[in-house]
Structure 1
Amino acid sequence: MRAAVPLGLAAMGELVVQRAGVINIGIEGILAVGALVAYVVAESFGPGVAMGAGAAVGIVVSAVFAVLVVRVRAHQVIAGTAIAMLGLGLSAAGHRLLDHSGPAVSTITAVDVPLLADLPVLGRVLFAQQWPFYVMVAGLGVVAWTLRRTTLGVVLRACGDAPAAVRGAGRSIDAVRAGAIMFGGACAGAAGAFLVVGQAGVFVEGMSAGRGFIAIAIVALGRWSVPGVAIATVIFGLASSLQFAVQALGATVPYNLVLGAPYALTLLLLPLTRGAGSSPRVLGSHGE
């Protein structure tokens, strides 16, 4: 489940963004920046504060994307590509400039849920995880409830399906979309931070490793629904952890081939997104 956490956090935020009618492919760069900031902060303040710092910088970077898309009306894919490249470049340059190549920082320890962690088979899998895993699960539940049971959720979904109705009701489409984008940025930044303080303990250039793009694929494969995103996250999380299983079994499989498993899975499952009628109607456009 540890490998699924950054994917789930990023996909959860991207789901909200896309439900509002915006696609942000720049989350790959946000993950990278969040990872670097988390590493720097964790050296002095620990992993908990580092997770918050990653989310905060994610909001800042996504705010730039929001200005480009919501205010300037830039093409979403072009703006997202620029943010992705900017984030990857800044994280690499920042790492070299700060010369943070020191020892590993402290990582988040697993937390056992009393009684439940002792259940057979799934006890250790689901109830003996790091706290960001529980935050991700709770967050998915809150997002599902918000989208379906609240006025905010109805308005947000309408921004992606029927923006004219939102405008007719006197609501600000720009405000809703900007808020959704920054929520997605916070999730992506936290996902990047988890790569450092939840997994590696160090920052390595390119450690986002396409997870932002995989998160976008997860949203599409999950048919823009929380249950679908949760299932797709588990599938891709298992694919991402395949390298550790191969090492544990002592199998002689080329390392690069194992690392490519999540990306190969993305290509294999891509046909399932054809004719996705559940996608927001004005996704990727300004909906004017």
Structure 2
Amino acid sequence: MEINASSWEDFILVGFSDYPKAEFIISLFVSGFYTTTLAGNTAIILVSLQDSRLHTPMYFFLRNLSFLDICFTTCTVPQMLVNIWSGNKRISYVGCTVQYSVALALGSTECVLLAVMAVDRYFAVLWPLRYTTIMHQQICHILAAVSWLSGFANSLFQSSLAMILPLCGHRHVDHFVCELLIIIKLSCADTGPIESKMFIARLIILAIPVCTILTSYGCIARTVMKMHSAEGRQKAFGTCASHLVVVLMFYGTIMFTYLQPQNNYSKRQGMIVALVYTIVAPTLNPLIYTLRNKDVKRAVRKVFCKI
């Protein structure tokens, strides 16, 4: 399919410009959350590397998740703040393509990584004596690599389909970021067949991890209920509760956005939900994983005592 020269024109990210008074307040809210995201997730990475007691599979995957969250928010938030504070809503075609491709890759990677973390908790609770043998360093690196590769493969597939669509008419994107679902709407071609392929790809990258998570936690719940020791049940619940909260928050917003029919996609709802999974969730992840975790608290105190 031939691409018009006009397809290379700049896009205009409309964002919250319909609400100029609220836009500045939203930018302060976003910048505060972004700063907290960078500080919290960087702290988790450094602390878990510093303390030898945190050199376990669980914290290895948690470091991957923290790094993912830093990259994910950095992919979208700085551009959003620049657009709001400068008053210039433009973003180049290349910049827009890179943004939605990288954001999709990182979001897809997180979908798979959260499933891997559920499997890790499955072995920790059901096979505690064989846990370190099963989840050895090599298998952890392989599982992390699978998460990253599958996420970027999904993005490559969907982004390639979007890039071959000819764009025409206005370049106003009704969002604060270059959102793939909205970019497709700017095409003057029949997008039905391509949207169907993209929907199947989104379904796969979401359905397989969700089924894995549900199966893992179903087995964990059954095992925990059979435990005679209240202390054992509490410990098992504590290792899984934090991960479950993150899973529910992330998958709930992602599935609401990407698994609904295109004609039902609402600009206002889409932006609010996007704020949750791109800005709020990455900020809360460090808090969720550390507030109930004695090992992390102990490691943080140890680091601060050295300082």
- TM-score bucket of the superposed structures, by smaller chain: 0.3 to 0.5
Structure with greater helix share of residues = 2
Structure with bigger RCO (C-alpha 8 Å, 6+ apart): 1
